[in-house]
């Protein structure tokens, strides 16, 4: 499988900027609980070795819907609260007004300014502007893992959690919202929910 990135691909300086913005805006980023901390290592190992964990299958969907991720018919049910995997991609800093047509990008932190020195480093092709707004995005279009094939539904069975996970100050983790039975498609709601990544960031 092409997409075998275990976790987000991030420059430490960008993560430091993100952490600073999160702290400044008093955004609550809870620490990952024991179930996620214990459950992630075997998932990450399988992603690294084979791309798609053995308990899942990817199928072509009808029409122009692309692909979807399903729990293997012979796999054990996934219980509520079980980690699925990190949503992996490249962490990118870009001007907030810059158009992004990728279907695989989530905004981690948005609506912040950079100092002159930071703009010179991260946005050297534009003249300095103290009021220009920036965002830090997680883009899985070119690099990522199987979670990029998990589709949207208004009745999801997984949700995205924005959590502190070692070694990252924050990470986007997909977690089972309810019990997922063998053969069921994994679905996530891209809209805000109280305990989701979008809800946590008030988006």
pLDDT in tens, 151-174: 988 899 999 998 999 989 989 999
Whole-prediction pTM value? 0.88
Cβ atoms < 10 Å from Cβ of 184: 14
203 pLDDT tier (thresholds 50, 70, 90): very low
Q: Distances in Å between the alpha carbon of 49 and those of 1, 42, 106, 117, 146?
A: 10, 11, 26, 40, 13
How many helical (H) and strand (E) elements, i.e. helices and strands, does the chain have?
Answer: 4, 10
Structure tokens at 191: 């809209």
């Amino acid at each position: 499988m092409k997409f075998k990135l275990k976790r987000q691909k991030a420059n430490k300086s960008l993560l430091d900027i993100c952490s600073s913005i999160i702290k400044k805006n008093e955004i609550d980023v809870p620490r990952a609980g024991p179930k996620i901390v214990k459950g992630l290592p075997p998932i990450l190992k399988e992603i690294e070795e084979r791309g798609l964990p053995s308990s899942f299958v990817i199928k072509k969907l009808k029409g122009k819907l692309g692909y979807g991720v399903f729990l293997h018919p012979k796999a054990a049910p996934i219980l509520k609260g079980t980690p699925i995997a990190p949503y992996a991609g490249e962490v990118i800093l870009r001007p907030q007004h810059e158009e992004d047509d990728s279907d695989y990008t989530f905004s981690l932190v948005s609506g912040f300014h950079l100092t002159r020195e930071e703009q010179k480093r991260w946005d050297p092709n534009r003249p300095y502007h103290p009021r220009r707004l920036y965002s830090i995005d997680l883009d899985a279009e070119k690099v990522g893992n199987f979670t990029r094939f998990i589709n949207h539904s208004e009745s999801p069975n997984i949700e995205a959690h924005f959590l502190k996970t070692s070694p990252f100050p924050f990470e986007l983790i997909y977690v089972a919202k309810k019990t997922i039975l063998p053969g069921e498609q994994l679905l996530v709601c891209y809209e805000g929910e109280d305990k989701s990544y979008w809800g946590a960031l008030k988006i």
